[in-house]
Structure 1
């Protein structure tokens, strides 16, 4: 479960937006490859299968867009596969040159036996969800997040993530081939508790399909490959049916 939590965490966080304006035609507009905000006002579950091991349950992400005080937002929630309780919740705001990560929480299970979950706030030092304008060769889009465990506030963590735009590609999703864009990843996690523990950085990539959003993501952590691909999209009512079936 600890591996699953950190894998999901590291796959959720976006990158720092391109901070300069679109100054010339060398910049490519890739906003249509992000999640379709106009189509997500009622919300949609994206089910991602783990590639290479059928015994590992899918990732269930729920995306929903909304307009509040004249701003457009996208919320995302990851649900645990064993009981469909929330594991991560984030909110992004649309700005001029991309999607900005405004808020994110993790949810820890209470190890003392209490049924409720503990909400863990995260400090966003640098972090955004998606740049609308990119060019090749791309600069580095940086993320830095800091948080402490709800069960032990001395157990502090730092996520540092570098992201680069790779370019255009194609991928078959839900039985159809889509034009896509890809980003390469370089990540490192630090743990500060009775000293610094920092495993070696690792690499990965993410792929976004036009009109759909993120459709594939993977990380190479040591000698382990963590890879997911979108297989289904459906309303929240379908995920609620899965939850009810678990209770029987």
Structure 2
């Protein structure tokens, strides 16, 4: 049994408006599976496929109060492309963000609801990832995160240091998943989280038990009843184990 990262889930005060921003930012299509839910994926995409990690925006009245512990890095192909993308995103409603990054070659921005993201300088590592270069998770111990997520998913571990860990899909396509050593502690629920999905024919309960044995903890959402399972990784980051498919 194994899972794979299929999407990120982002809370939004206005899922439709924020979805419109991100659809334009990524050049992706936009749809909805119901009120309060906006789904983003590449045009012509057949879900799930490791060539892309999709984005689901879910309406929530909860205000954003702290820096997100999960964000996306956007890829660029040249310095000119980076500058053009920053300008285009600004025109769409993004703003500069200062998270203490100092003088760095990438640009830190916030979307119209304040969610931080980075427009990266051009890097050979990201030449074939698509518009999202990486999904980045703040953590205290990248090595421990690599051990857990390397077993939780069938994604390959590409690099592990004291400062970061990089994973990518088993097919070596699509964006990277990066765990970045970051000061500070987690407070409250993550506004952005990972959604992973087992493969067709796998058993959801058995997969949840396997993840708990690896170090995940169960989160009780009662009285809410949902068809997926909510867990937290060893550093307390919530994630959803979706139904197999």
Greater per-residue strand proportion? 1
After TM superposition, the score normalised by the length of structure 2 is 0.28
Larger Rg: 1
